[in-house]
């Protein structure tokens, strides 16, 4: 009995001890501050019985961390004060450090009051507003301290019934005349006069440059407005273009894209109806879209298997003896590069190798004359990395000429060779330009960097004296290194063009001058691994190619994409309006990019064929992880992470005897 009592007593003590839930209380709770105010919080610990105790030390911090937005509230832990720098609700974390290092933490919302609104500006993005159309309006709210306030829920009203305002503040012009639109918030009202014109359009005539087309063909629709008198209205009218469609395939949905200027492209074969509308006047035109029918057989003809280590990039070149050769790098291994005789693509022969102090030779390139090979180093044991220059005049017996590490110790991930100069990335931040006229003694002659905090680069490619660098979130930079367009040279690289996009995953660039249209594009590739990695198993990849029309370098715009569902892009090659793209787990995809480009090129049935290099004897058996592709003397060469180098042949176009396209001119 005594034992039982003792156990119960112990249980009671233990239970009470651990039931003392402690929490931090602070006068930060529901605290409001004015902009610019400083405040010294008082915080303490309270247990479940309401008993207060002090912390031996307190630390405060802004939960947004050290990023720029964290300057909204700054903390000085020496004085224990916080300062309000930006309006809004901010989270402050309080850490209480008790005796013996026991810590508690709690997050408090601190409300830094917005300064009073000073003005509301309204702006209409069209010159003329016609009755029956929606009015594109933008709003800007500025407070007394000059901060622009976002996500403001305005109260809108008009001076008369000439416009209609719906529940989510869309504004539609319904009658001609003058009205005043008022936007009010916190007692301040902004106004704009709107002159609504009578819709002069009585009839719309819709024409197009094609009456039927293939999927992927860009069809140009033109709408001409006529007035009551049957006269053409010369003013540029703000037509709305739209389409409906029915797929020929009953179980498929129609799909396409139409632009504000009337250009349309169909993704799926079917009957489409294109419409141009202005107010309550509309006109439609039918368009038959047929399958593109570009599929061809692609046959794998040879493999140079590397299955004891991962293979990285490669380059195929003509040797000084007129035969054809290739070099491949290796990844996460022992610093080996392999040389291959690929004169007969069906009989790829490993002929030599070099091993350097590195774990990864990520990139390899060969000079235009087939004499000099450069390879990149990462993971050198002395952490000096840099590049290695190799004499490949005799690819059967290659010899290292020199090593260059100055300013390249952080690892060279990618490089390029062009007209006796090497362009080598340094620590993923910038690229250096080396003169290798004397390959035994490379000399640094230039450097290109963005010059901003967090500058980052993944690749550089040179063509016609222009260096295209792929700078992740900063996108592509076009740099004159000898072209003359901006007065640049290798020792004076001058940037003259840039384009970036939201995902920030810009990894590679290939310049593309369309033979069929004369337009100039930069094709920008993502690299994304959405689920991280497993080096010993197949990986999920994502990302796509962005086609950016750079015909006017000052006004680049993104117009098309190639996205293979379930597979992400890596390196690629374009020749004669055909794209050869390594889509990692999706293998090499061969894509027709002839004609004008717009929308989703994959959906448009532009794929000619594909190669899946996965090999039963590969580093990871049957796993395709294609690194890059290169068209060389009529064969598609490729490197694969798990199987080495390979070659394939795209069969000639087969005559179309199917009569599927019998109505197509």
Nearest to 273 by CA among 287, 257, 255: 287
Both tokens assigned to 223: 């709408």
Query: Least distance in Å: CB of 379 to another protein?
Result: 4
The strands making up 494-499's β-sheet, listed across from edge to edge, are: 459-463, 466-470, 476-480, 494-499
Query: Least distance in Å: CB of 359 to another protein?
Result: 4
630 three-class SS? strand
Nearest to 555 by CA among 509, 519, 579, 525: 519
For every residue of 49-74, DSSP letters joined together read T--EE--SEEEEEETTTTSGGGGGEE
358 in contact with another protein (CB under 8 A)? yes
CB 433 within 8 A of CB 444: yes
Neighbours of 515 (CB within 10 A): 11
Nearest to 542 by CA among 586, 599, 501, 502: 586
Q: Which one, 199 or 362, has the nearer CB to another protein? A: 362
Q: Which one, 536 or 665, has the nearer CB to another protein? A: 536
Nearest to 607 by CA among 227, 327, 229, 297: 297
CB 448 within 8 A of CB 467: yes
83 in contact with another protein (CB under 8 A)? no
Query: Least distance in Å: CB of 187 to another protein?
Result: 38
Stretch that binds another protein, among 127-135, 268-276, 292-300, 354-362 (CB under 8 A): 354-362
Which residues face 330 on adjacent strands?
A: 311
Query: Least distance in Å: CB of 430 to another protein?
Result: 10
Residue 214: its H or E element? strand 212-214
Q: Which one, 45 or 219, has the nearer CB to another protein? A: 45
Structure-token match 């700054």, residue found: 74
Query: Least distance in Å: CB of 72 to another protein?
Result: 14
CB 490 within 8 A of CB 481: yes
- For another protein, what does the binding mask look like between residues 619 and 658, x meaning CB under 8 A? --------x-------------x-----------------
Query: Least distance in Å: CB of 69 to another protein?
Result: 12
d(CA 389, CA 366): 10
Q: Which one, 45 or 598, has the nearer CB to another protein? A: 45
Pairing of β 23-26 and β 607-611? unpaired
111 three-class SS? strand
Alpha helix segments (H runs only) across 116-173 = none
From candidates 334, 391, 463, 577, binder to another protein by CB under 8 A: 334
**Rg of the Cα trace of the chain?**
33
Restricted to residues 369-428, the positions that interact with another protein (CB under 8 A) are: 378-379, 381, 383, 409-411, 413, 426-428
Q: Which one, 64 or 295, has the nearer CB to another protein? A: 64
Q: Which one, 447 or 660, has the nearer CB to another protein? A: 447
Name the burial class of residue 92, with classes exposed (0-12), middle (13-18) and buried (19+) by CB atoms within 10 angstroms of its CB: buried
Q: Count interface residues toward another protein (CB under 8 A).
A: 60
Q: Which one, 427 or 495, has the nearer CB to another protein? A: 427
Report residue 609: phi and psi, to 5°: 180, -175
Both tokens assigned to 172: 């539609």
93 in contact with another protein (CB under 8 A)? yes
Q: How far apart are the first and last CA of the chain?
A: 103
Restricted to residues 529-558, the positions that interact with another protein (CB under 8 A) are: 529, 532-536, 539
From candidates 312, 569, 623, 630, binder to another protein by CB under 8 A: 312
Query: Least distance in Å: CB of 474 to another protein?
Result: 10
359 in contact with another protein (CB under 8 A)? yes
78 in contact with another protein (CB under 8 A)? yes
Stretch that binds another protein, among 20-28, 198-206, 357-365, 611-619 (CB under 8 A): 357-365
d(CA 211, CA 520): 27
Stretch that binds another protein, among 98-106, 110-118, 368-376, 437-445 (CB under 8 A): 98-106
Q: Which one, 267 or 363, has the nearer CB to another protein? A: 363
- For another protein, what does the binding mask look like between residues 134 and 173, x meaning CB under 8 A? ----------------------------------------
Report residue 49: phi and psi, to 5°: -90, 5
337 in contact with another protein (CB under 8 A)? no
User: In residues, how long is the chain?
Assistant: 665
- For another protein, what does the binding mask look like between residues 46 and 65, x meaning CB under 8 A? -----------x-x-xxxxx
355 in contact with another protein (CB under 8 A)? yes
Q: List residues binding another protein (CB under 8 A).
A: 57, 59, 61-66, 77-78, 93, 95, 97, 101, 103, 105, 309, 312, 331-336, 355-360, 378-379, 381, 383, 409-411, 413, 426-429, 454-456, 458, 472-473, 504, 527, 529, 532-536, 539, 570, 627, 641
């Amino acid at each position: 009995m005594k034992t039982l009592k003792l156990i119960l007593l112990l249980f009671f003590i233990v239970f009470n001890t651990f039931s003392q839930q402690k929490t931090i209380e602070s006068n930060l709770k529901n605290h409001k501050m004015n902009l610019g105010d400083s405040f010294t919080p008082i915080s303490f610990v309270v247990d479940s019985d309401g008993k207060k105790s002090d912390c031996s030390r307190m630390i405060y911090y802004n939960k947004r961390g050290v990023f720029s937005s964290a300057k909204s509230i700054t903390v000085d832990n020496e004085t224990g004060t916080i300062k309000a720098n930006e309006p809004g609700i901010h989270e402050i974390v309080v850490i209480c450090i008790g005796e013996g290092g026991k810590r508690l933490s709690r997050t408090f919302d601190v409300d830094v009051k917005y300064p009073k609104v000073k003005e509301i500006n309204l702006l209409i993005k069209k010159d003329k507003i016609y009755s029956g159309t929606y009015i594109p309006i933008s709003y800007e709210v500025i407070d007394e301290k000059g901060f622009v306030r976002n996500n403001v829920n305005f109260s809108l009203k008009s001076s008369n019934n000439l416009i209609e305002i719906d529940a989510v503040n869309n504004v539609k012009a319904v009658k001609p005349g003058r009205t005043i639109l008022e936007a009010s918030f916190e007692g301040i009202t902004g106004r704009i006069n709107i002159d609504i014109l009578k819709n002069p359009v009585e009839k719309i005539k819709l024409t197009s440059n094609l009456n039927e087309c293939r999927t992927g063909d860009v069809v140009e629709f033109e709408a001409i407005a006529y007035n009551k008198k049957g006269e053409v209205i010369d003013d540029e009218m703000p037509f709305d273009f739209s389409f409906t469609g029915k797929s020929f395939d009953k179980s498929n949905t129609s799909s396409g894209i139409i632009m504000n200027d009337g250009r349309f492209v169909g993704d799926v074969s079917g009957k489409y109806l294109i419409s141009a509308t202005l107010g309550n006047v509309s006109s439609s035109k039918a368009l038959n879209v047929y399958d593109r029918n570009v599929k061809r057989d692609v046959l794998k003809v040879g493999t140079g298997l590397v299955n004891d280590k991962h293979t990285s990039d490669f380059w195929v070149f003509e040797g000084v003896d007129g035969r054809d050769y290739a070099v491949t790098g290796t990844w996460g291994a022992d610093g080996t590069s392999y040389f291959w005789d690929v004169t007969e693509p069906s009989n790829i022969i490993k002929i030599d190798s070099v091993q350097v102090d590195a774990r990864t030779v990520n990139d390899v390139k060969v000079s235009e004359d087939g004499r000099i090979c450069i390879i990149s180093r990462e993971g050198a044991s002395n952490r000096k990395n840099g590049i290695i220059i190799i004499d490949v005049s005799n690819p059967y017996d290659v010899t290292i000429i020199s090593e260059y590490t100055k300013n390249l110790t952080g690892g060279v991930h990618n490089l390029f060779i062009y007209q006796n100069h090497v362009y080598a990335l340094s620590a993923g931040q910038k690229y250096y330009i080396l003169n290798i006229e004397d390959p035994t003694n490379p000399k640094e002659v230039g450097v290109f960097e963005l010059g901003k905090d967090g500058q980052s680069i993944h690749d550089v490619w040179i063509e016609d004296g222009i260096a295209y660098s792929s700078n992740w979130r900063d996108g592509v930079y076009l740099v004159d290194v000898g072209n003359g367009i901006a007065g640049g040279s290798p020792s004076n690289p001058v940037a003259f063009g840039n384009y970036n996009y939201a995902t920030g995953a810009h990894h590679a660039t290939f310049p593309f001058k369309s033979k069929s249209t004369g337009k100039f594009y930069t094709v920008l590739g993502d690299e994304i691994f959405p689920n991280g990695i497993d080096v010993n198993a197949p990986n999920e990849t994502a990302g796509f190619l962005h086609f950016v029309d750079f015909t006017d370098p000052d006004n680049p715009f993104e117009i098309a994409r190639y996205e293979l569902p379930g597979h992400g892009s890596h390196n690629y090659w374009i020749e004669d309006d055909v794209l050869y793209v390594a889509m990692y787990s999706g293998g090499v995809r061969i894509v027709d990019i002839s004609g004008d480009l717009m929308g989703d090129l994959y959906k448009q049935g532009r794929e000619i064929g594909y190669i899946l290099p996965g090999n039963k004897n590969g580093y990871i058996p049957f796993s395709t992880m294609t690194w890059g592709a290169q068209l060389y003397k009529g064969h598609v060469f490729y490197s694969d992470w798990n199987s080495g180098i390979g070659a394939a042949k795209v069969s000639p176009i087969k005559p179309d005897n199917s009569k599927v396209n019998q109505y197509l001119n």
